[in-house]
């Protein structure tokens, strides 16, 4: 069931449209005009693109994004959602136009003369659009933001399938109207998801929680990811062609490095439902695939969770079809989604991988475990179920008085799950906890 709308949203949406509309045409037009007079404008075209068909009728879905742009401001239910949607659209415009000026590219195909309705629509389009502003495609960047808004609010079938089909057709139309080369599409999508990551529809903004890490280990891990990002980026440039896809893992690893140094666990944007945000899933997809495979490889010989004490189990993060026997899940993993059933309680305490949780978070996790424990068996998990989650279970044992100290708690956990890894940083955080009276 959707939330009731806050009052005054229509007026607020009109305000944003009156601001963004003229700004769009002004910035886009000026960038077009400026780039048209430059002599250093190149192009990036794959050989197979010369076989791309021209479908004049797709100018209709191409144009329809203008209507959907305006309609998208009728969907938000809160001022926060409205403002962040508008700011995401504005950010997409700023990012794309900046790239048009810094790295201009030109569309190289010559479109034949067209007549009829489709020809007229093309003529109107070319009245203000020129073949210079290409990567990242602003059309695609805006589509990603608008599509996400509609997907969040259009839930009823068959309208939802119709919406997804039309949005996909808009995405295809940038190629079949001969408006963009292929490189513009993934770069435009990347820009769109970056804007959604910057302006999530709910929760804290990334830069609100930003601060430089003081933990040397976080910087060391971030350095490893940064090197990986740099290597992928250099390989993408050196290889060209299909090698340009390495830009995606470069962005993914670069964002992980920033999470370790600046944004913290919140940078992964894992929500209270166990899922990562739409933007987080796409931006981090190469990293997430590698992390998930790593978690399954390390636990392939011991995939099951182990009972530590009184119905509290320690294990890896459950995937589809796993963890159904638990009444509740206490999750300390920031980077991987968690499959949760409607019948399960789910509590999330996101922690960076390979970094020991602090004492405050361990206290909160311990309280959550004890609260859920009364309802039935509880799974405490992280990516592998060996470190972050083990420290949370140890905290629960100490806080509830089931163990006298951290050393005794570690020994008890190790009997149930011998592979746990608790280092000095984990032990120091646990030693700060005292048993509840």
Residues identified as active-site: 382
The contacts of residue 4 (CB under 8 Å, 6+ apart) are 77
Whether residue 182 contacts residue 136, with contact meaning beta carbons closer than 8 Å, is answered with: no
Q: Which has the closest alpha carbon to 292: 264, 323, 317, 328?
A: 317
Whether residue 106 contacts residue 134, with contact meaning beta carbons closer than 8 Å, is answered with: yes
The whole-angstrom separation of Cα 167 and Cα 96 is 20
CA 421 to chain centroid: 29
- Per-residue tokens: 95: 């990012």
The whole-angstrom separation of Cα 199 and Cα 138 is 17
Cis peptide before 183 (omega within 30 of 0): no
Whether residue 335 contacts residue 288, with contact meaning beta carbons closer than 8 Å, is answered with: yes
Whether residue 317 contacts residue 389, with contact meaning beta carbons closer than 8 Å, is answered with: no
Q: Which has the closest alpha carbon to 191: 245, 138, 237?
A: 138
């Amino acid at each position: 069931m959707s939330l009731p709308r806050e009052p005054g949203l229509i007026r607020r949406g009109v305000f944003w449209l009156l601001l963004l509309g003229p700004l769009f045409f002004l910035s886009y037009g000026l960038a077009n005009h400026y780039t048209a007079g430059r002599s250093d404008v190149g192009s990036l075209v794959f050989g197979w693109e010369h076989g791309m068909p021209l479908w004049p009728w797709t100018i209709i879905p191409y144009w329809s994004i203008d209507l959907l742009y305006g309609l998208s401001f009728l969907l938000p239910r809160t001022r926060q959602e409205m403002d962040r949607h508008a700011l995401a659209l504005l950010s997409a415009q700023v990012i794309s136009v900046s790239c048009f000026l810094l790295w201009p590219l030109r569309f190289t195909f010559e479109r034949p003369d067209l007549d009829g309705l489709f020809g007229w629509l093309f003529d109107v389009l070319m009245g203000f659009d020129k073949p210079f502003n290409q990567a990242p495609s602003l059309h695609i960047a805006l589509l990603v933001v608008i599509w996400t808004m509609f997907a969040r609010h259009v839930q009823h079938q068959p309208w939802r399938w119709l919406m997804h089909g039309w949005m996909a057709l808009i995405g295809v139309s940038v190629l079949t109207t001969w408006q963009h080369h292929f490189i513009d599409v993934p770069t435009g999508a990347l820009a769109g998801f970056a804007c959604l990551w910057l302006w999530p529809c709910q929760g804290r903004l990334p830069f609100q929680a930003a601060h430089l890490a003081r933990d040397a280990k976080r910087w060391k891990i971030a350095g490893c990811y940064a090197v990986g990002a740099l290597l992928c980026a250099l390989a993408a440039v050196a290889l060209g062609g299909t090698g340009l896809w390495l830009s995606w893992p470069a962005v993914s690893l670069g964002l992980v490095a920033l999470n370790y140094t600046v944004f913290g666990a919140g940078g992964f944007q894992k929500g209270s439902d166990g899922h990562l945000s739409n933007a987080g899933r796409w931006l981090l997809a190469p990293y997430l695939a590698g992390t998930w495979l790593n978690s399954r490889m390390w636990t392939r010989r011991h995939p099951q969770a182990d009972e530590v004490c009184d119905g509290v189990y320690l294990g890896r993060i459950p995937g589809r079809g796993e963890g159904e026997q638990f009444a509740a899940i206490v999750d300390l993993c920031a980077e991987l989604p968690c499959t949760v059933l409607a019948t399960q309680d789910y509590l999330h305490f996101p922690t960076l991988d390979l970094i020991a949780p602090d004492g405050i978070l361990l206290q909160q996790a311990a309280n959550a475990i004890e609260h859920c424990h009364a309802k039935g068996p509880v799974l405490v998990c992280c990516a592998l179920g060996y470190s972050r989650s083990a420290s949370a279970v140890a905290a629960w044992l100490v806080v509830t008085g089931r163990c006298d100290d951290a050393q005794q708690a570690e020994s008890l956990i190790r009997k149930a799950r011998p592979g746990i890894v608790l280092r000095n940083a984990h032990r120091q955080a646990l030693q700060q906890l005292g048993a509840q009276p």
